[in-house]
Amino acid sequence: MTTQLFSRKLIYRIAAFVAVWAIVLAGVFVPSATAQAAPAIDDGTPGPFADGSRLEFGCRQANRVLEGQQDRLDLANHTAEQAQTWIDELKAKGKDTSALEAALSAFKSGIASAQAKHDEAQGIMEAHAGFDSDCKLTDRDQAKATLQSAGNALREAHRLLHNAGRAFRQAVRDWRQTNRPTATP
């Protein structure tokens, strides 16, 4: 039995040795593939958005975002007016509203800063650099620059308005927490 086991192991080792050498020799004699350069890109072949449709869509989208952002700025101004009325009513009742007045002042300042950035973006888009009045592409490079700078101004306006609103809401929450009516027994 040991002889059969030894001969079986010997056969396996010889077969493995032959297989390894066959693979090595096949690798040596099989010609390797030569590296080839990528085919030259024909500059005349347009890509899927070569007609400027993506930039035109970006122009239309930026105009829609401008309209929506102006609506949010108008709502923020309306909210500031309502908050001022509420603070005046609290003041008439003898409540200490100094923290609310400071928060409202900061909120109005944030709205004004956001409105300035929004107006900057609107001015960029109204200049129509790279586009005509219907958002049709006229100059690709100018259009890219227009969308990039308008987008940056829109994002900054959004950030300013968002941060101002968050800070004002937190100040109102804090004021309500500290001025919660106490239960009388």
Predicted local distance difference test score (pLDDT) of residue 20 = 65
CA angle 94–95–101, rounded 5-degree value: 120
Which helix (H) or strand (E) covers residue 64, if one does?
Answer: helix 53-92
Q: How many helices (H) and strands (E) does the chain have?
A: 4, 0
For position 21, what pLDDT does the model report? 63
Residue 11's pLDDT is what?
Answer: 76
Burial (CB < 10 A; 0-12, 13-18, 19+), residue 99, is: middle
Task: Mark the ranges of the chain whose per-residue pLDDT is less than 70.
Answer: 1-6, 19-22, 24-50, 183-185
Q: Global pTM?
A: 0.69
The two structure tokens encoding residue 133: 């009045």
CB-based contact 125:65 (threshold 8 Å): no
**What is the reported pLDDT for 100?**
93
Contacts of 111 (CB under 8 A, 6+ apart): 73, 76, 77, 80, 161, 164
Q: What is the pLDDT of residue 43?
A: 54
Q: What's the sign of the alpha-carbon dihedral 84, 90, 92, 95?
A: negative
> What integer pLDDT is reported at residue 110 of this predicted model?
96
